[in-house]
Amino acid sequence: MRHFLGLADLSSDEVWQILNLAVDLKKEWLDGGNRPLLQGKTLALLFQKPSLRTRVSFEMGMFHLGGQAIYLSPNEVQLGKRESVADVARVLSRYVDGIMARVFAHSDIEQLAAHSHVPVINGLSDYNHPCQVLADLLTILEKKGRLEGLRLAYVGDGNNVAVSLLFGGTKLGMEVALATPPGYEITEDVENLATAFAEESGGFVDLTYEPLEAVAGADVIYTDTWTSMGQEEETRKRLKLFPPYQVNERLLAASGKDDVIVMHCLPAHRGQEITDEVADGPHSVLFDQAENRMHAQKAVLALLLGGQ
């Protein structure tokens, strides 16, 4: 693993390697602190999109492992505008030991990796969000004790989080159901890839327009914001189409399972894609997910920068 750009690039064994290391690093941290596996290492945090969780989880992850992080704001670098993506990669990789980038276009991540001499980590792109889904898989593993054979139902926009959930879940033998409004589905290419992964692992892909159908028998119900950053001009249209996909008490009951857990990658627009009663209720693991961003990413950092 030279870079971490997406879960589709990894074998199931490599995904498990990351998750198992994340479990160990979290336990080590809770038991008194992590070993300085990244002593003397520096990670550049390159942002086109701002984020609470991505910045703080990576900064604290590097701190826990004995390294440091340098935050580069959207205005400082202006990736691809003030300077080409390739040149930014060439320059930064002369200064630091790794680059985490949170961008709009996935092609920017790919260009950074192509021209960087140090590992590049995808902190988010419009195509996928692999760091988030590593944290999600870690959280499900903690709550359920396994991943294989579980049904994960995602309800809402077929966005970057949905793509990574499909890839990560099907790599590890999960049954992944997606309920999206017509016109907001995943692409055919993503469906084909996920189906191929499911055939290898014993997982399953279930695509539907009906949220109640998707959540039937679900062990995990997942949602995300209806309008992602950069889509603000679509807000009014989406607010008319997405209300049937709200995760509320009725949708939870439709799972038929008392121990169903509810996930959201945050930030949540309460009263839209999820209600307060669910977000703050006994089935919610929203803030465990948020914490696990740090632990899952520490495993990626240790493997890429520390040679674990």
- Give me the active site residues, please: 102, 129, 132, 224, 265, 293
d(CA 59, CA 3): 19
Distance separating the N- and C-terminal Cα atoms of the chain: 11
Concatenating the DSSP letter of every residue in 117-141 gives SS-EEEEE-SS--HHHHHHHHHHHH
Reduced to 3 states (helix: H, G, I; strand: E, B; else coil), residue 208 is: strand
Strands (E), 51-109: 68-72, 98-102
Contacts of 172 (CB under 8 A, 6+ apart): 12, 15, 16, 137, 147, 148, 201, 203
User: How many residues are listed for the chain in this entry?
Assistant: 308
Residue with tokens 């520490």: 298
- Give Cα 38 to chain centroid, integer Å: 23
The angle formed by the CA atoms of residues 162, 266 and 303, to the nearest 5 degrees, is 70
Residue among 299, 297, 306, 298 at smallest CA distance from 122: 297
